Amino acid sequence: MIDILVIVLPVFIVLGAGYLAVWGKMFTDDAVDGLMLFAQKFAIPVLLFRAISTLDIGENFNAPLLVSFYAGVVVAFILGLLAARYLFDRSWEDCVAIAFCCCFSNTLLLGVPITERAFGPGALLGNYTIIAVHAPFGYMLGITAMELARAQGTALRKLPAKVAKSMFSNAMVLGIGLGLAVNLGNIPLPSVLTDAVQIMARAALPAALFGLGGVLYRYRPEGDMRTILFVCVVSLIIHPMIVWGMVHWFDLSTATLRSAVVTAAVAPGTNAYVFANMYGTAKRVAASSVLLGTVLSVITTSIWISFLP
C-alpha cells in the first residue's frame, strides 16, 4: 500500500498545493478562475486534440472497452437518478444533476496522471480511448435527461437541437472533434503547429490540478451529507466494480483492465459542478461531492490499484 501511495500522492500533492495556496491567500479566487479558464477552455482541449489526432484509432479502438466503461456510466447515472428522487426526495432537475455527479469521473485530471504514474505512459492508450467518448457521451446523457426533466410544455422535436447546441459549446468536445477530424481525414499539420500544440498540452495537467485544488477550497461540504456520501459510494466503488466485472466478462487485456478500472475509480470531475452550475441546480451537492470524493479517492484509488495486476 505504501508503494501505491507513493505513486498516487504526487497528483494529490499538486492538487493540495492549489488548495493551500488559496487557503493561505497566496492565490486569489480571480487567479483560480483565470487558471481554470486557461486549463479547461484552452490547454485541456489542446491536450485532447493532440492525443486524439495522433491516436491510431484502427489499432486502439476497443469496442468491448467502451461497452465495459460506459455500461458502468449508465448504471451509475440511473442509480443516482432514482436514489436522488426516491431516497432523498429531490426535484427531477436536482436528480439529473446528482446522477451526473455519480457517473462523470475525473477521467483526465486524475485518471490520466494516476494511470501514468502507476503503469507508465504506455498504459494510457485505453484512457484516451475512453476520454475520446467521455465528454460527448456524458454531456449527451446529462443534457438529454435534464432537457426532458425541464421539457414541460416544450415540443420534443426541439430537444435534439438544444442538446447539440449545449454539447458543441463545450471546448473539450470541440477539441476531441477537431482531433478526430485531423486523424480520420489524415490531415498533415506543419511541425511548427505540432510543436506549439505540444507546449500547450504539457501545461494542461499541472495547471488544471493546481487550479482544481483552488476550486475545491471554495466548496467545502455544507449539509446534504447523505446525498454527498451516496454520490461518493457510487462513483468510487460501484462504478469501478461494474467496470471490473464487465472487463473480465469480455476477457480483455491487463492493460485495458488497468485503464478502465482506474478511470472509473477516480472522483467526480469538476464537470459535475460545471453541469450543475449550468442549470442552476444541486450546486452544493455537486461541489461538495467533487471535494469529498477527491479526498476519499486518495485511499480508494490506491486500494483499486492494489487489486490490479
Over the chain (309 residues), what is each successive 10-residue block's mean pLDDT? 63 85 92 86 84 71 89 96 94 94 87 84 84 79 81 64 69 81 86 90 84 76 83 96 95 90 88 77 84 85 88
Beta-carbon neighbour count of residue 157 at 10 Å? 7
Given this model, what pLDDT does residue 163 score?
66
Given this model, what pLDDT does residue 68 score?
93
Domain residue ranges of the chain, discontinuous segments joined by +:
2-307
What distance, in Å, lies between the first and last C-alpha atoms of the chain?
14
Cα 261 to Cα 242: distance, rounded to the nearest angstrom: 9
Given this model, what pLDDT does residue 156 score?
63
Q: In 3-state terms, what secondary structure has residue 94?
A: helix
Given this model, what pLDDT does residue 10 score?
78
The values of phi and psi at residue 66, to 5°, are -65, -40
- As separate numbers, helices (DSSP H) first and strands (DSSP E) second, the chain gives 16, 0
Cα 156 to Cα 35: distance, rounded to the nearest angstrom: 38
Classify domain 2-307 at the CATH topology level: Na+/H+ antiporter like fold (1.20.1530)
